[in-house]
């Protein structure tokens, strides 16, 4: 676990306690976290993006994550970070194409300007999970077929899932050899 992961995990625990207690300062004190550290998520992300090794991914993922910042750890809507006495949530960010988003509605509108790109990416991620392996170039025709067929049904999620289940890579996936399964069982018993 990286330092960033540790701080994020601790921040989530403090956030849950702050919502329960209705007091950010008390929750921070109980967890040994300063209010400054608690409230500096956006600043930490900005510092993290300053590193060229981190910036390539974070330039893509941070704006979407920040646009969803109005949802707490349990998925409940909030307008303040840290309970009723916390700081106002700032869900603003700028996508790679320069589009400014200021919350979940603007993020949805931005994503739906090019629904095929969004659906293709989601199909790739779902197919990776369904196959239990990374995708290869040989899988991409199946991904394109799923997206094309889902378009006929207005990109319904059920159309994407059914398309993946009907795809050749999914239907023709191989089981792990028995020797590999036995080795895993033996290793887990020891």
- Residues in the chain predicted with pLDDT less than 70, given as ranges, are 1-12, 15, 19, 22, 24, 33-42, 174-190
Domain count, the chain: 2
**158 and 72 in one domain?**
no
Answer yes or no: is 121 within a domain: yes
**127 and 146 in one domain?**
yes
**119 and 40 in one domain?**
no
3-state secondary structure the chain: CCHHHHHHHHHHHHHHHHHHHCCHHHHHHHHCCCHHHHCCHHHHHHHHHHCHHHHHHHHHHHHHHHHCCCECCCCCECCEECCCCCEECCCCEECCCCCEECCHHHHHHHHHCCHHHHHHHHHHHHHHHHHCCCCCHHHHHHHHHHHHHHHCCCCCHHHHHHHHHHCHHHHCCCCCCHHHHHHHHHHHHC
**122 and 94 in one domain?**
no
**53 and 77 in one domain?**
yes
Q: What is the span of the domain harbouring residue 57?
A: 3-110
Answer yes or no: is 105 within a domain: yes
**66 and 46 in one domain?**
yes
Answer yes or no: is 182 within a domain: no
Encoding tokens for residue 37? 């550290």
**43 and 81 in one domain?**
yes
Note the pLDDT of residue 58.
82
**46 and 124 in one domain?**
no
**85 and 12 in one domain?**
yes
Domain boundary residue, one of 110, 133, 149: 110
Note the pLDDT of residue 46.
75
59-108 pLDDT, tens per residue?
Answer: 888 888 888 988 888 888 988 877 777 778 888 888 888 999 999 999 99
């Amino acid at each position: 676990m990286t330092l960033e992961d540790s701080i994020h995990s601790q921040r989530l625990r403090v956030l849950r306690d702050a919502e329960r207690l209705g007091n950010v300062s008390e929750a921070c004190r109980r967890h040994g976290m300063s209010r400054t550290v608690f409230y500096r998520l956006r600043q930490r992300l900005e510092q993290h993006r300053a590193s060229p090794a981190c910036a390539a991914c974070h330039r893509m993922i941070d704006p979407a994550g920040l646009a969803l910042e109005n949802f707490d750890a349990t998925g409940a809507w909030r307008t303040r970070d840290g309970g009723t006495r916390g700081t106002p949530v700032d869900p603003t960010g700028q996508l790679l194409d320069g589009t400014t988003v200021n919350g979940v509605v603007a993020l949805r509108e931005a994503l739906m300007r090019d629904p095929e790109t969004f659906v293709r990416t989601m199909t790739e991620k779902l197919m990776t999970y369904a196959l239990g392996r990374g995708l290869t170039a040989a899988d991409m025709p199946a991904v394109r077929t799923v997206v094309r067929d889902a378009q006929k049904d207005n990109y319904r999620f059920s159309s994407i899932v059914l398309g993946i289940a009907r795809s050749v890579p999914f239907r023709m996936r191989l089981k792990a050899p028995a020797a590999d399964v036995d080795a895993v069982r033996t290793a887990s018993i020891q």
